[in-house]
Amino acid sequence: MPLNALSALLAEQGTALAAEVARSPLAPPAYLELVRRSRDVDKLAEQVLKLCVQQCRDAGHTWQEIGDLLGVTRQAAFQRFGKPLDPRTGEPMDKTVHLADAAERAVQIVTDVLEGRMDEARKTFNSQVLEAFTDEVRGDGLATVAGMVGAFEGFGEGEPFVRRIGDHTVVDIPLRYEAGDMKARVAFDADEKVAGLVIIPPDAA
């Protein structure tokens, strides 16, 4: 659907949603309908945003400019909206996330690592990570993070960010620490095994 048609549909659904909200308080079942309508508006807004970003790129704007406007790095903007070509084939790369429960899996793995349940965490590792992610490596990594931002206090605000990068499904999970925020990044390979796990600053690409 072209941008002008999508924008008109978004305006129509947004207006209908606003009118419904203005009628509050509603009967309890009606609030579920508000959620459904809000979801539909959100999906449309995402489609409009993607088309607007593509038009920005076609007009010559850089990923840095787009990232600055959206409050993210240029790499994050590219990962969300870009259409990379596979250098092996010259074809557009598949950005579809096939691991439907990637976010839930990643949260559980990070929880297990942070709480010391390494036997459980290691069941999810691929052979390379299983060999490299020793108890010593875990301890050194957590000590480094504690030296930067203090004690772990819980998961941060916002939902995990899931995307496809090459052959991997990558999940970023907000973390809250005593003196600042961080994020855990978990990468799953094509076999749905953990191919990487790090804790990094929240603005890291």
Per DSSP, the three-state class of 49 is: helix
Can you give the pLDDT at residue 80? 85
Does an H or E element contain 163, and which?
Answer: strand 161-165
Of 3 and 115, the one with more pLDDT: 115
Average pLDDT over the chain reads 91
Q: Is the pTM of this model over 0.85?
A: no
- Residue 198 above 90 pLDDT? yes
What distance in Å separates the CA atoms of residue 97 and residue 99, rounded to the nearest whole number?
A: 6
What is the residue extent of each domain of the chain?
Answer: 3-81, 102-200
**CA 35 to the chain's CA centroid:** 21
Per-residue pLDDT tens over the stretch 137-177: 999 999 999 999 999 999 999 899 999 888 899 999 999 99
Does an H or E element contain 41, and which?
Answer: helix 28-58
Can you give the pLDDT at residue 72? 86
Of 15 and 178, the one with more pLDDT: 178
Lowest mean pLDDT among 42-46, 174-178, 195-199: 42-46
Which class is domain 102-200? alpha beta
How do the residues of the chain divide into helix, strand and coil, expressed in percent and rounded to 5?
50, 20, 30
Per-residue pLDDT tens over the stretch 63-122: 999 999 999 888 888 888 888 887 888 888 777 777 889 999 999 999 999 999 999 999
State what percent of residues in the chain have pLDDT above 70.
Answer: 100
What distance in Å separates the CA atoms of residue 105 and residue 107, rounded to the nearest whole number?
A: 6
CB 75 within 8 A of CB 205: yes
